[in-house]
Amino acid sequence: MSSAPDIVLIQITRDGHVLLNEVAMDDLDRLLAHLEAAALRVPLPEVHICTENGVPFRPVGNVIHRVVRAGLNDRIKFLDWQRAG
């Protein structure tokens, strides 16, 4: 019997604020530290990224960069804001 995968939810608001599992991340280094810790879990969690409509690319790119640095790049899924919230 397989269970649902562990999920790390990252939300990016229209004004560029980043939330990790619904907790505001005040800087991207803090986000990276959480992602690096998540990368040590067995099995690896999925990383669900969702953005509000109209979010600029820079905050999205910054988040993706941190996910890749943490070693979770093959675990990324993009969701609609409504499905994640």
Q: How far apart are CA 63 and CA 10, in angstroms?
A: 8
State the pLDDT at residue 82: 65
One-letter amino acid of 49: I
**Domain range annotation of the chain:** 7-84
State the pLDDT at residue 80: 77
State the pLDDT at residue 83: 56
pLDDT tens for the 85 residues of the chain, in order = 567 779 999 999 999 999 999 999 999 999 999 999 999 999 999 999 999 999 999 999 999 999 999 999 999 999 877 655 5
One-letter amino acid of 17: H
CA angle 64, 27, 33 (to 5 degrees): 65
* Residue 65 CB partners (closer than 8 Å, separation 6+): none
State the pLDDT at residue 5: 75
